[in-house]
Chain A
């Protein structure tokens, strides 16, 4: 599903050029659950952002479902993103001004799903993450675990083929963290590909494969 070869990514300031990712190549198969690990600053989040088309790559090739997407313009990136990719962040990133229901509904609005259909699908997914009873609450009225469940619901409501999770349990206690990991595993079982960046060996064990990075390069790949 994802084929990245010889990826180079630099961060430039006026005086210094830092190499964030260096000749990095990875493959992710459809239906795989991959964890990316490594110390802070090794480039794992940058990699995730590039996979999610939130960031550009400087050199190399990125094929998504065998289509070269590295040179996509913003509109094409948006299109690809909204139909194929769901995101889960460490800090949940819910819109504070929208209710639980409205937050989850948002991706469906941008993919122009009719209102009745939206309602049905949002309710289904809220049931699935067991947050239906909180559908009219605002994010600040929820616990961290609940917020992350909403974020997961939002990531999956469009039935994406790929979920990118950036330290999804980083802001959660272990109970809530386990619940979220359980959710991701279930999604993976249903066929969704998952790429997850994590610091936690415990979380990484849920995955099929662990990619370990150091200084912008893949140093080891192990089976989870």
Chain B
């Protein structure tokens, strides 16, 4: 029996190649999208779950409250985790990481290692990073001990055994010893270090007594709780702990700390405080929903085309019943046929995945999958899913087909009933609602991205080359040297550039009431040339100048937001007021216009600028004439090698650097676009099938109308209008839905576009346009047909 089913199913598929292609391709594409998104969702959810103690590890985070603001930091100061582990019995162990970027050298090999962490020796007791060589318990105990990832070990030592060998750290050539090699940290980890340097090295290298400086933040701290510890109960003990350890200091500084625990497994996706790498649970949900929708569209196609085509199979059903088939047997036959089609789609989907996974990795910006064969369980699930879709999508057509009365269908009196037609129309509307929603979503995401890219940021980043000396002492000499390179218009050295990291300093500023108001202010250390170079506007006072000897140590410039924070309604009023910051005291000499020194996702914060030559970053910004960029770059590189030969040449362009903040959004937009295209493609396949079927059904009607004098255009209109109506209804349903969801998405951006009505008009027009092309291409052909042909066939 089954053989007979498969045989006839296969012959049917072959006979109606067009329909079959639509059915199989639509389903395959839907399944592929679903498969890829499932990989993505699973990958995002898998972060840090592989550690055996993951359930007991928490990230310790800190809220820092000053009289004017609260900072929700994802970091702590050095002593916090250490003393918490000492004082609170629930904490079994702790490990801290301090990210850094150091110059590392071995003979002629030199790299500026940005995936570098100073780490406590307990790191490998908390986290499961398998050691290939060395002792996890002692590897990071001694000063100047270094643990490398396998990749880093290969980079520096090739095939040599790195254990016990020496690496030179920083330009000062601190001699360190490799004490361990770990397997490369998996992609789904919130921190992916290549080099771990023992934390105690900091004491020897920089005389940094991190265990005692409660106000010095920067450490990412993890604590391991004892089994069965209730984290919320533990959190309630933090205030007393902080008061006993650092209460006085907090009162003096008018700063209040609060500690919280974030489960390790939730840090990546759920924490609103960010971290080394953060995901977004909303995006995961959005994609999961999109995947389900695409699969839904594909299934709808399948049901629609199968039931529509039911009439063509009616005669076969009639005959089978006449020769003795039970209704159940017919139902089973059509379900097996539908499962067979789904299994074909499954095979095609596997091939598509095989081809598309590298592209998908590229789109998602991470190595989500090494290939389809890395996921045997997924393949099995997809296989079962294919069977299930076949079953679900097959049941309705099977029931419809098997309910045919043989005598009716064999007499040719059968026609599709109104209920079936209504169902098909509803399903088409659902498909187009999803497609239009995705088109509108894509338009909104891309418009927001465009808005962010083209917004006036308040500074000029065009043709600005930035050399990253990583705080090299000779950055100023380099800056002076490159000034003479042809094509260089102007340059400056600073500690930070827009879109990058900057320190945040405990500051006291004289406010309108004459009090010294405490605030944590981001601080840019810049030279005399920085403000004019970046074309940042001055609104009051003056910029730093060599004409004033005090500017190097006793002058500060604020932005408009900072001035407002301290209560001044006019920028001029802030000039001459006192400041105290990080041991420096002096006066406010100028106020600059607000500029976006962070991405447009966040509001422009208060900012302070002080004179300093490359403190921290040692970034040399160079404005270059457009036509000379390549030559200038080569000349600059030569200067670099002359002046700081120990460091590898590192540079970036300010505009690209700033836009890098939108990488996640760009990826989101890219993925959205791809899935929208898929959805509309599958919907159109379905529409194509339905229209062509409908047209065939009305073959005789078309003939009669033509005999009675109807023109081609009136017939095309007649055949198209029904479907266009459906698309229009879809627009009406999709628009408010999408408006609601995309408003929520946009709310995450401090600066965003308004959703205007015309976005939906465009999305609708695109859908109507595509539908129109599909519909008219089919109906024109039918309308041009010679009526004699259709009438004779009756």
Contact = CB atoms under 8 A, between A and B. Distances in A.
Interface of A: 45, 49, 52, 54-55, 74-75, 78-79, 81-83, 87, 89, 91, 93-98, 102, 106-107, 109-111, 154, 158
A82 B8 contact: no
Given A49-B407, A54-B406, A55-B407, A93 B4 contact: no
B4 A109 contact: yes
Given A93-B319, A95-B316, A109-B1, A78 B8 contact: no
Choose among B8, B11, B319, B329 the residue with the greatest number of A CB atoms under 10 Å from its CB: B319
A95 B319 contact: yes
B310 to A, nearest CB: 15
A54 B406 CA distance: 7
A91 B326 CA distance: 23
Given A55-B407, A97-B316, A81 B8 contact: no
Contacts, number: 71
A40 to B, nearest CB: 13
B323 A97 contact: no
A110 B324 contact: yes
B321 interface: yes
B15 interface: yes
Contacts of A49: 407
13 contacts: A75-B327, A78-B321, A78-B327, A82-B323, A89-B410, A93-B315, A93-B318, A93-B319, A95-B315, A97-B316, A109-B1, A110-B325, A111-B324
A106 B326 contact: no
A121 B574 CA distance: 107
B313 to A, nearest CB: 10
Contacts of A94: 319
Choose among A79, A95, A96, A154 the residue with the greatest number of B CB atoms under 10 Å from its CB: A95
A106 B407 contact: no
Given A54-B407, A55-B407, A110-B323, A97 B1 contact: no
Contacts of A82: 323-324
Given A54-B406, A89-B410, A95-B319, A78 B325 contact: yes
Choose among A54, A87, A102 the residue with the greatest number of B CB atoms under 10 Å from its CB: A54
Contacts of B4: 102, 106, 109
Given A54-B407, A93-B410, A102-B7, A78 B326 contact: yes
Nearest to A115: B3
A49 B1 CA distance: 27
B336 to A, nearest CB: 14
Interface residues of B, number: 25
Contacts of B15: 96-97
Contact of A93 (B1, B7, B8, B322): B322
B324 A107 contact: yes
Choose among B321, B323, B329, B406 the residue with the greatest number of A CB atoms under 10 Å from its CB: B323
Interface in B320-376: 320-327, 329
Nearest to A79: B324
Given A95-B320, A97-B12, A106-B323, 12 more contacts: A78-B321, A82-B323, A93-B322, A95-B8, A95-B315, A95-B316, A96-B15, A96-B316, A107-B323, A109-B1, A110-B326, A158-B324
Contacts of B324: 78-79, 81-83, 107, 110-111, 158
Contacts of B406: 54
Contacts of B329: 110
A128 B724 CA distance: 57
Choose among B322, B329, B405, B411 the residue with the greatest number of A CB atoms under 10 Å from its CB: B322
A91 to B, nearest CB: 8
Interface in B1-56: 1, 4, 7-8, 11-12, 15
A18 B332 CA distance: 37
Q: Which 7 A-B pairs have the closest CB atoms?
A: A82-B324, A110-B324, A107-B323, A97-B11, A54-B407, A49-B407, A55-B407
Contact of A97 (B8, B318, B322, B405): B8
Interface string B141-159: 0000000000000000000
Nearest to B329: A110
Contacts of A87: 322-323
B323 A154 contact: yes
B537 to A, nearest CB: 78
A81 B322 CA distance: 7
Contacts of A54: 321-322, 405-407, 410
A107 B15 CA distance: 23
Given A54-B406, A93-B315, A106-B320, A75 B7 contact: no
A36 to B, nearest CB: 16
A98 B8 contact: yes
A96 to B, nearest CB: 8
Contacts of B320: 95, 106, 110
Contacts of B1: 109
Nearest to A166: B410
Contacts of A74: 326-327
Contacts of B411: 45
A107 B319 CA distance: 10
A158 B322 CA distance: 13
